[in-house]
Amino acid sequence: MEKMTEKNETSDFDELTKKMEEEILEEAREIYTEKTLEEAYNPKNVGELETPSGAARVTGPCGDTLQMHIKVKENKIVDCKFITDGCGASMACGSVVTELVKGKTIEEALTVENKDVLSVLGGLPEENIHCSVLAVDTLRAALEDYKSKDKNKIRKRNKKERR
Query: Where along the sequence are the contacts to ligand FES (CB under 6 A)?
Result: 60, 62, 64, 86-87, 89-90, 128, 131, 134
In angstroms, the first-to-last Cα distance of the chain is: 86
Closest CA to 35 of 94, 86, 96: 96
CB of 65 to ligand FES, least distance (A): 8
Question: Of the listed 62, 80, 87, 93, which one is catalytic?
Answer: 62
Q: How far is the CB of 134 from ligand FES (least distance, A)?
A: 5
Taking the complex as a whole, how short is the minimal distance between the CB of residue 48 and ligand FES, in angstroms?
A: 19
Closest to ligand FES by CB, 71 vs 130, is: 130
Identify which of residues 54 and 86 has a Cβ nearer to ligand FES in the complex: 86
CA distance 70 to 93: 16
Give the CA distances from residue 24 to residues 18, 74, 94, in Å, rounded to whole numbers and listed in that order. 10, 45, 22
Rounded alpha-carbon distances, angstroms, from residue 126 to 25, 42, 82, 130, 133: 19, 23, 23, 8, 12
93 included as an active-site residue: no
What type of residue sits at position 121?
Answer: L
Q: Which residue number, 37 or 87, has a Cβ lying nearer to ligand FES?
A: 87
Provide the annotated active-site residues.
62, 131
